[in-house]
A = this chain, B = another copy of it.
Amino acid sequence: MTYICCSMENQVIKHTNSLKKLQMEPLLPYLEMIDTEIKATPFPNKSLYEPMEYILGLGGKRIRPIFTLLGAELAGIPAKDAVNQAVAVELFHNFSLMHDDIMDRSDIRRGSPTVHKKWDEPTAILSGDAMMVMAYQCLIKNSFDATTNLIKVFSKMAIEVCEGQMDDMSFENQTPSKDQYIEMIRQKTAVLIGASLQIGFLVGKDDSEAADRLYRAGVNWGLAFQIKDDYLDLYGDEKIGKKIGGDILANKKTLLYIVTREKASAEDLKTLDYWYNTNTIKQTQVSESEKINAVRGLFDKYNAAEESLTLAKLYFKKGNNLFNELVLPREPRKTILKLAEMLVERDF
């Protein structure tokens, strides 16, 4: 057996800096709890497990497992009692990243080569498969009455994530309506955030109605998070190392694109189609930045950024309203609201 150690130590520092930048210091103890648990997870010394250690060590803000821990506190139990379920959620998230990267032909994740690039596709498929199984194993550790319910909630979420990814891929060949797009990101991204919170709560309390409301709050926050993420891909701070305009270069039909298409004049539509033609860059001599600037110009002309951010805030508030209808312990309540706010207010 080997244990994740050196690379993970560096990661904890990375996460910590991440959260400090977000002024989310209250979350640091939760983060430490999650990373300590992941660090203590025995990864047998086999080629199947190295890619798991690798992707878990690439960073990320551990938002989903933090939601799980806070969900447990909302139910009145100590966060650490749900740490296995938090790790389950993080394992599932990283499984889906590993497989999505193959499907989306992505070579880089968080500044490093993706698993199928560093190793190969069979390794990424298989390591991802095993990671999903391990997520289930974590979910039922320290088993209790809630086990069956946890498996149900988790599996429903997992199926929706697959459906969302399938729809996302289908958008390569057809432009979705705004509603179709929202439904896609709901399944692909938001339900996992909702389920993370719900699962933590269910560990502590057998109250399906409250858990369901938390789920719906989390889903709305997740929608806000994803819309903001799309926005930041183009309008974010280049300094954090993320390539600006990656979605445009990949011809991704984000909300910015859909909003623009809905309102664009016939001529602008033609221009947009020209740039979103997969081969535009290859066929002509234009640079990547020329494409990004041209498309951003159109987005700006039709106030796509503003409309996106307005929608993100709307979902954020809808999440808050659902959340505020519940009577919950003060401390975790405050922290969650701050975390949700960060999802939509962050600049990176």
Contacts and interface: CB of A to CB of B under 8 A. Distances in A.
Given A147-B147, A152-B140, A155-B136, A129 B99 contact: yes
Interface string A99-111: 1001100000000
Interface string A122-166: 110111111011101100100100011001100100110011011
B170 A126 contact: no
Contact of A166 (B46, B128, B158): B46
A237 to B, nearest CB: 32
A284 interface: no
A47 interface: yes
The listed residue with most B CB atoms (<10 A of its CB), out of A137, A147, A155, is A155
A170 B47 contact: yes
Nearest to A99: B125
B122 A169 contact: yes
B133 A166 contact: no
A48 interface: yes
Contact of A133 (B130, B137, B162): B162
A128 B102 CA distance: 14
Interface string A29-55: 000000000000000001110000000
A134 to B, nearest CB: 7
Contacts of A121: 102-103, 121
Contact of A48 (B99, B130, B152, B163): B163
| Copies per assembly | 2
A234 to B, nearest CB: 25
Contact of A162 (B126, B151, B155): B126
Nearest to A139: B151
B125 A103 contact: yes
A166 B46 CA distance: 9
A332 to B, nearest CB: 27
Contacts of A132: 129, 132-133
Nearest to A163: B48
A138 to B, nearest CB: 10
A32 B68 CA distance: 43
A47 B174 CA distance: 15
A170 B129 CA distance: 17
A159 B140 contact: no
Contacts of A122: 102-103, 169
B48 A126 contact: no
A127 B125 CA distance: 12
Nearest to A149: B143
Contacts of A159: 130, 133-134, 137
A162 B134 CA distance: 11
A143 B133 contact: no
A148 B151 CA distance: 10
A121 B124 CA distance: 13
A48 B166 contact: yes
Contacts of A148: 140, 143, 147
Contact of A102 (B125, B133, B152): B125
A52 to B, nearest CB: 11
A165 B126 contact: yes
7 contacts: A125-B125, A129-B129, A130-B162, A133-B162, A136-B155, A140-B152, A147-B148
Top 3 A-B residue pairs of the complex, sorted by shortest distance between their CB atoms: A103-B122, A130-B162, A143-B148
